[in-house]
Amino acid sequence: MAKHIHKCYSCNEYTLEVKCPKCNQPAILPKPPKFSLNDKYSSYRREIKKKELEEKGII
Ligand SMILES: [Zn+2]
């Protein structure tokens, strides 16, 4: 595939162009890059969980 499918978040329209053909808003790639905020968030959650266990005297 030469082109990626972009998504317009104004009207939820998918397009191969970088601009939405419907509302002319910029359309972006719906998939976030690798190692996104989700990964940071899950490691942050692990820290919280560890602290919780320490406070309960489990570790
Ligand atoms: Zn649109």
CATH number at residue 36: 2.20.28
pTM of the model: 0.47
Report CA(26)–ligand 1 centroid distance (Å).
8
In a domain, 23, yes or no: yes
In a domain, 42, yes or no: yes
Find tokens 């397009």 and name the residue.
Answer: 15
In a domain, 1, yes or no: no
In this prediction, residue 34 carries a pLDDT of: 63
Neighbours of ion ligand 1 (CB under 5 A): 8, 10-11, 13, 20, 22-23, 25
Q: What is the pLDDT of residues 8-39, one digit of tens each?
A: 999 999 999 999 999 999 999 887 666 556 66
